[in-house]
Amino acid sequence: MSNSDQRPVSVVTGANSGIGRATSIHLAKQGHRVAGTVRSIAKAEKLQTMAADAGVEVELFELDVADDDSVRVGFAELLAVTGRVDHLVNNAGIGGNAVAEECPPQMYLDVMNVNLGGAVRCLQAVLPQMRERGSGTVVNISSVAGRIAAIAQSPYVASKWAFEGLSEGLAQELAPFGIRVVIIEPGVTKSAIFAKNIDAPNSTGAYDAHYRRMFQFYMAGMANATDPFEVAQVIHTAITTDEHRLRWPVSWGGAELAELHDRIDDSDWIAMGAIEEDEEYYQRFHDVFGLDLR
């Protein structure tokens, strides 16, 4: 395809699975020219098959969001092919389970490098041409863990809280240039990230309950998990609507948990952490959030 193609160009990072794959296919079905970034095109067979089955094309570009040079080279190739980027969906991300006492500082940095640094590298690659045109959208895929400190996931939470802060500031920074920033806050969706995210250091043995309750949350979430195409639909709405709304909670637990601060104060939150019996903890969680973890 030539770069004279007049369709809106949407870049989706981490396009090879879960929300990224669903978003790539859904936006293509909505008439977007979609460029999906993947770490390995050779491993993107399922994405290509699903796109073909949907009757659409997703153009693939290899890059690793965790690496400066890889992003620079990958986006140079992408822009040479597409000519522009109208919408950037910063979706690539990794999980990270650990309580703070047991989490090596390097793990914080590794998770942050992907979940925050990766998005920064990609937005810096596309913002100059968006500013020059005076239009564009940056969609940052955060998480409900960007609004609530999900138990026993300290490095993941830290990265997503940082991502929320960057995104909120970015929205103001880019407002004078006609560029919209959108934060998507999924709860639990059907995604490979949860199947991969099964580590629990528990090196001291003191945090059994924390890891148990964290996995119980995801077990309950996966039993009720929403299709990632639901998130893709919200992303499409967010970049096409005239409603300039910053945050968009979605999926199981999304709205309930993202609005934590409206329903529980800090002392109640800390008291919940001090509950010793699992059954009492699950009941309290249900009372506050309306979500049944049992």
Taking CA atoms, 86 is separated from 12, 132, 204, 213, in Å, by: 11, 12, 48, 41
User: Is 156 a catalytic site residue?
Assistant: yes
- Give the HSE-up count for residue 33: Cα atoms under 13 Å, Cβ half-sphere: 17
Kindly name the residue from 108, 156, 211, 282 that is annotated as catalytic.
156
CA atoms 98, 40, 48, 130: torsion sign: positive
* Contact criterion met (CB below 8 Å) for 50 and 82: no
List CB contacts of 254: < 8 A, sequence separation 6 or more. 144, 185, 186, 187
* Contact criterion met (CB below 8 Å) for 221 and 163: no
Within a 10 A sphere around the Cβ of 132, how many other Cβ atoms? Answer: 11
Q: Which residues are catalytic?
A: 156
